[in-house]
Amino acid sequence: LSLCRLSLCFGLSCNVSASCSQLWLSLNFLLTLILNVTQRGNAYTNLTITEWSAPVVWHGTYNESVLENYYQNHKITVGLTVFAVGRYLDFYLKRFLLSADKFFMIDQKVIIYVMVDNFSKMPWIPLNPLHTFKVFEIKRERRWQDISMMRMKTIGEHIVNHIQYEVDFLFCMDVDQIFEREYGLETLGESVAQIHSYWYQATPMMVPYERNQLSQAYIPMGKGDFYYHAAVFGGTPIQVLNIARECTKGIMNDKKNNIEAMWHDESHLNKYFFLHKPTKILSPEYCWDFRLKRNSDIRTVKLSWDIKDYDLLRVTA
């Protein structure tokens, strides 16, 4: 079937003048949706489609060969931003980059945008021929909370200045993580959110949304869909720019009123996805904490949390 015919089957418009990236997004979404729908009956109990028809990606709910064959003929570049400031640079960056080079978007062009506060500490790592680094030195904030929240502002600035012209898709990830297995094309989408591994079985009443009604991140009790993890989000550069701008706006408005959301940028990210539903959601397999007890839901782990010692890491002086 042509893309236009596939689109019509799912009630989507097909505009022949649409850009290549828009067509790729449509096909990627349709392929994932078809695979999810057809495999829901294969003894798969986890949610694979949201109420707004966004696919929830679990291992086994996609066909790698279909995606690989398509993207073999439609070349793309995928970006990945990562921030390593203070002791995070010392303890985590090298492991993150080594694992990303091994498992992130194998056989695809990748640009990793590394944001550090000390350029001289950037580790030297031999890369896959398709992978490149771009390293930027950024200002170090006084408090770790501000480091976390100002990340959104920095991401937005870099997208406007250059990233939007360099990549077709962009992921933003925390540095204190390790890629464990192939993290591939099935994750691509227009607007991608990551379900938090600690809260994926919880109802909206139970999750730690921001409950201060004066905060821009406020979500009313009983409302919401999933609790999303700020350690991973992505999409097209323009959609990630929208996420970064709206979160930055909420953070800055709160700061003017001496308000700080409980989970900082993550609270604002959850508010964004509450208002603007993601077009693709990644299951906890794509960001799992091994300190949690594995269960039958988690068939494989693509990306894991690294060991954290916040008392040591969050010293900013």
CA distances to 73, 127, 131, 312 from 230, in Å: 32, 27, 24, 21
**Is 96 marked as binding a ligand?**
no
* From 186, 190, 260, 266, the catalytic residue: 266
Burial group, residue 89, by CB count within 10 angstroms (0-12, 13-18, 19+): buried
Burial pattern 75-84, b for ≥16 Cβ within 10 A else e, equals ebbbbbbbbb
- Residue 175 assigned ligand-binding role: yes
Q: Which residues pair with 104 in a beta bridge?
A: 183
196 is known to lie in a ligand binding site: yes
* 83 among annotated binding-site residues: yes
* Closest-CA residue to 204 (of 231, 226, 175, 188): 226
**Residue 169, annotated ligand binder?**
no
Residue 260 appears among annotated catalytic residues: no
3-state secondary structure of 298: coil
Q: Is 84 annotated as a binding residue?
A: yes
Q: Is residue 297 a known part of a binding site?
A: no
Residue 244 to residues 143, 154, 211, 284, Cα–Cα distance (Å): 20, 8, 21, 23
Catalytic residue annotation: 266
- Binding residues for UDP-N-acetyl-alpha-D-galactosamine, by number, are 83-85, 88, 174-176
**Annotated binding site for Mn(2+): which residue ranges?**
174, 176
Q: Binding site residues, as ranges?
A: 83-85, 88, 174-176, 196, 266, 289
